[in-house]
């Protein structure tokens, strides 16, 4: 869920022009020539819809509106008849999702569908109050319910506008976007015929972590689960990471801040326990990213990643001259993919927030931080027992303190479970829950089918919503099989919906 799509641009902005490359894992990267995102784009038109600011209060902003962005392509659509594939945009610029969900376009070509990628309010260009969107109280209109209402209204409006009233709508999304797809189907089955929710941790984000463990034997914490990816590659890898953190801890206890700076190539000498805490967060975050994005080819989603980043990281850890510099080079996979960084700036590369797995940087990070402070429960912790990181707690109390200070809000644990049914989905239908076994988020989602129409698809060799990505020669067999199954189920839903409405 960590949102880092702005990393690359941000880093280039700060460090552009510096060519010294003390830190470099570049040689480990897949050095293919990478076209820009826009070059890879299908024939998407960028459009805006006037959207009501507040769906749930007629007096707070009257009928005030904002411009919500969406991308649309009808290049494969059987006009007025083919289905609509609607991506329920999540925590970032909608182009990022459109450009990293090629499976949806492939599916559209196959099934004659119209494709729409909708941008979530308060992300990307869809800022309801422009640069003031993250002021208090303006930020208050950022909720899951408002976002879902936006999508319900957008689908209804666009169907009218495009003469698509009879076209069944399938929603699709990855990660938080997958959660939104689930919620759209359960909240608006009058509008949505089915949902493909890829890597959607609907259980863990609703505070249901402890009760539904089926994988790890202990808990479903992200940090606990991602250790397995590294262990699986090579048990020595995990030991090396733990060893490096131990060394850092020893130096920190000795207050040997200069050696820490040197070992980790920090731009400034750390000087307080807070700085060390920040460094630990920065390091841990890199591992979360690599495990999530452990795709079998290089990608440009939430920054740039080499093929098999976990493998790259483990090799780097094991081939270093010493543990700490190995760790430093390893996080370069995430923070220094261009190889152009000369030093790490502790507080600009990673910002601590209400989501211990990271909020990314820039405006989008404010929005996600706010959501993690309100409805979405992200109380993940590392403990150095079930994971390989130093103990970093994040209790409900810490969350409350932080959120109250940062945003003037008090989280309401249990709310998401009440609103969106938690694990009590028996009355729902037509949802695919896909998850990849490599993904540390996987066990926060639904791993077993709940009924013939609530279908879990597990992808042994899949990272975070790999199935939504376009087909690639490096794809493992399991994702090819999963996509085929998804395609068949969706075709059935469309057929049934068409029959119902005719």
Active-site option among 120, 300, 464, 465 = 464
| Residue 149: closest CA among 59, 68, 44 | 68
Contact flags string 3-22 toward a second copy, x per CB under 8 A: --------------------
Part in contact with a second copy (CB under 8 A); list of ranges 184-192, 240-248, 322-330, 476-484: 184-192
| Residue 7: closest CA among 110, 106, 92 | 92
The kind and range of the H/E element at 52 are: strand 45-52
175 annotated active-site: yes
| Strand order from edge to edge, sheet including 45-52 | 45-52, 65-73, 114-118, 84-88, 169-174, 194-198, 431-436, 454-459
Q: How far is CA 394 from CA 353, 370, 377, 427, 454, in A?
A: 10, 16, 11, 34, 33
**Contacts (Cβ under 8 Å, ≥6 apart) of 149:** 52, 55, 56
Strands 114-118, 169-174: pairing is unpaired
Reduce the DSSP state of residue 130 to 3 states and report it.
helix
Q: For residue 129, state whether it binds a second copy (rule: CB under 8 A).
A: no
Active-site option among 74, 439, 467, 475 = 439
**Candidate list 145, 239, 345, 461; residue touching a second copy; CB under 8 A:** 145
Nearer to a second copy, 316 or 419 (CB): 419
Nearer to a second copy, 29 or 118 (CB): 118
**Candidate list 13, 14, 136, 474; residue touching a second copy; CB under 8 A:** 136
R_g over Cα of the chain? 22
Contact flags string 429-448 toward a second copy, x per CB under 8 A: x-------------------
**373 contacts 356 by C-beta, under 8 angstroms:** no
439 annotated active-site: yes
Part in contact with a second copy (CB under 8 A); list of ranges 53-61, 309-317, 341-349, 475-483: 53-61
Q: For residue 141, state whether it binds a second copy (rule: CB under 8 A).
A: yes
Q: For residue 152, state whether it binds a second copy (rule: CB under 8 A).
A: yes
- C-beta of 153: minimal distance to a second copy in Å? 7
Omega before 137 cis (within 30°)?
yes
Nearer to a second copy, 45 or 405 (CB): 405
210/205 Cα distance (integer angstroms):
11
294/262 Cα distance (integer angstroms):
29
Nearer to a second copy, 54 or 231 (CB): 54
| Residue 367: closest CA among 120, 17, 161, 200 | 120
Active-site option among 175, 181, 298, 304 = 175
Q: For residue 35, state whether it binds a second copy (rule: CB under 8 A).
A: no
Q: For residue 412, state whether it binds a second copy (rule: CB under 8 A).
A: yes
Part in contact with a second copy (CB under 8 A); list of ranges 10-18, 47-55, 105-113, 377-385: 47-55
Reduce the DSSP state of residue 195 to 3 states and report it.
strand
Residues in 360-389 that interact with a second copy by CB under 8 A:
373-374
**489 contacts 454 by C-beta, under 8 angstroms:** no
DSSP letter string, 389-403 = S--B---HHHHHHHH
- C-beta of 108: minimal distance to a second copy in Å? 25
Contact flags string 481-500 toward a second copy, x per CB under 8 A: -------------------x
Q: For residue 59, state whether it binds a second copy (rule: CB under 8 A).
A: yes
Structure-token match 């208090």, residue found: 136
Q: For residue 254, state whether it binds a second copy (rule: CB under 8 A).
A: no
Phi and psi angles of residue 419, each rounded to the nearest 5 degrees, phi first = -70, -40
- C-beta of 363: minimal distance to a second copy in Å? 17
What does the binding site for a second copy look like in residue numbers (CB under 8 A)? 52, 54-60, 62-63, 136-137, 139-141, 143, 145-146, 149, 152-153, 156, 187-191, 373-374, 407-410, 412, 414-415, 417-419, 421-422, 424-427, 429, 500
Query: Annotated active-site positions, please?
Result: 175, 439, 464
């Amino acid at each position: 869920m960590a949102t880092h799509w702005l990393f690359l641009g941000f880093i280039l902005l700060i460090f552009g022009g510096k060519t010294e490359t003390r830190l470099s894992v570049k040689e480990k990267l897949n050095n293919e020539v990478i076209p820009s995102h826009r070059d890879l784009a299908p024939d998407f038109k960028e459009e805006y819809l006037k959207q009501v600011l507040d769906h749930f209060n007629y007096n707070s902003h009257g009928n005030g509106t904002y411009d919500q962005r969406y991308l649309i392509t009808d290049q494969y659509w059987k006009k007025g008849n083919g289905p609509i594939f609607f991506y329920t945009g999540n925590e970032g610029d909608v182009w990022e999702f459109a450009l990293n969900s090629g499976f949806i376009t492939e599916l559209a070509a196959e099934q004659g569908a119209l494709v729409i990628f909708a941008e979530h309010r308060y992300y990307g260009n869809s800022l309801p109050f422009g640069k003031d969107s993250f002021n208090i109280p303006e930020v208050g209109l950022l909720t899951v319910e408002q976002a879902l209402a936006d999508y319900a209204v957008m689908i209804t409006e666009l169907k009218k506008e495009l003469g698509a009233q009879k076209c069944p709508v399938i929603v699709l999304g990855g990660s938080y976007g997958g959660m939104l797809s689930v919620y759209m189907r359960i909240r608006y089955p009058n509008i949505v015929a089915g949902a493909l929710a890829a890597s959607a941790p609907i259980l863990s984000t609703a505070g249901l972590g402890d009760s539904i463990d089926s994988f790890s034997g202990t808990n479903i914490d992200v940090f606990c689960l991602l250790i397995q990816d590294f262990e699986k590659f090579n048990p020595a890898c995990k030991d090396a990471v733990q060893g490096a953190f131990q060394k850092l801890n020893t130096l920190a206890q000795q207050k040997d801040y200069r050696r820490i700076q040197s070992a980790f190539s920090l731009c400034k000498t750390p000087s307080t326990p807070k700085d060390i805490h920040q460094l630990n967060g920065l390091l841990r975050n890199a591992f979360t990213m690599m495990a999530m994005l452990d795709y079998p080819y290089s990608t440009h989603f939430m920054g740039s990643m080499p093929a098999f980043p976990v493998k790259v990281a483990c090799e780097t850890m094991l081939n270093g001259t010493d543990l700490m510099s190995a760790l430093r080079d390893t996080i370069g996979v995430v923070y220094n993919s261009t190889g152009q960084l000369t030093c790490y700036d502790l507080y600009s590369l990673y910002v601590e927030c209400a989501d211990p797995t990271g909020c990314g940087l820039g405006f989008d990070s404010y929005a996600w931080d706010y959501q993690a402070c309100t409805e979405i429960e992200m109380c993940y912790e590392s403990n150095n027992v079930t994971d390989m990181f130093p103990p970093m707690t994040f209790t409900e109390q810490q969350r409350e303190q932080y959120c109250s200070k940062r945003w003037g809000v008090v989280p309401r644990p249990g709310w998401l479970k009440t609103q969106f049914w938690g694990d009590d989905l028996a009355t729902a239908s037509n949802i695919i829950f896909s998850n990849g076994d490599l993904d540390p988020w996987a066990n926060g989602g639904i791993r077993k089918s709940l009924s013939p129409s609530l279908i879990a698809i597990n992808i042994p060799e899949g990272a975070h919503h790999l199935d939504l990505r376009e087909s690639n020669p490096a794809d493992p067999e399991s994702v090819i099989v999963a996509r085929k199954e998804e395609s068949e189920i969706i075709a059935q839903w469309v057929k049934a919906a068409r029959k119902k409405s005719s």
